[in-house]
Amino acid sequence: MSFDPFSDLPSMMPGHVWLAGAGPGDPGLLTLLAAKALAEADVIVHDALVNEDCLKLARAGAELEYAGKRGGKPSAKQRDISLRLVELAREGRRVLRLKGGDPFVFGRGGEEALTLIEHGVQFRIVPGITAGIGGLAYAGIPVTHREINHAVTFLTGHDSSGVVPDRIDWEAIGRGSPVIVMYMAMKHIAAISAKLIASGRSPDEPVAFVCDAATPSQKVLETTLGRAVEDVAASGLEPPAIVVVGEVVRLRPSLDWLGALSGRELLSDPFADRQRKDSA
């Protein structure tokens, strides 16, 4: 007897909106619930960072509406997107609002949900794998490693006005967070790296930029905090990118599993030159 992985999952209802995360890129990282929503939705309102291969899972006849917001490019206003979801739901449609990564991690999912509540529209949240975890994993970089860090900070590199957020306590984060994962930070890496170095971070601390994470076009730049601006400019890499600062970047020569599939020889012990304590 065949097993249907969707059989016990909830179904989309007319007039309801599902706010779902598509993960960082690879369609294989969609949750079962997000995949079921793609198969049932009447209309899918999607962001720019949703991989087109994910949208291929939409049911035949489903309408696709683009609602991407990209820095420096003409974009729909957030309020207009939120109200469009209300409009579609009131038409009795089954509405899927599909976002790259996770809708509640720098995805404005909370803003859209509050608008739905304001207008009496029922909704469901479908979490996704955020790029700051899944995208880095596809680059062979863990956000935590027992011998390196017991804390990690996730932050955004720009605020709603497009500049480096001044409400972030850069000095405290620079001093207190062993690993920093930054979304939408590539454009402002000069200002951010200067703030972190001023807070006491070493210019030699490793940094990685993961562009188009978890897609066939993924590219990874390994550099240091002091050389980041120069190396990014020389690389020609463009956003979208996830930026990670910290010693976990040094694990990539051992954990670059995608590189290994293409022939890269991985190191069994990236910290062989360090004296470590066995805390098992």
Residue with tokens 């509640």: 104
Interatomic CA distance for residues 86 and 147, integer angstroms: 48
- Residues shown for the chain: 280
184 is catalytic: yes
Catalytic residue among 12, 99, 182, 184: 184
Dig out the tokens for 15 from the structure: 């007039």
Strands 180-183 and 153-156: parallel
Residue among 215, 219, 175, 178 at smallest CA distance from 195: 175
Can you tell me whether residue 131 is helix, strand or coil? Answer: helix
Catalytic residue among 26, 47, 102, 212: 47
Place of tokens 């790029």: 131
Query: Choosing from 42, 53, 69, 195, which is the catalytic residue?
Result: 69
Q: How far apart are CA 224 and CA 239, in angstroms?
A: 18
To the query of whether residue 219 is one of the catalytic residues in this protein, the response is no
Q: For 27, which DSSP code?
A: G
- Strand pairing class (95-99; 219-224): unpaired
Torsion angle in degrees (nearest 10) through CA of 52, 53, 57, 60 = 60
Distance CA 171, CA 226 (A): 17
For residue 36, indicate whether it is catalytic: no
Which residues form the catalytic set?
A: 47, 69, 184
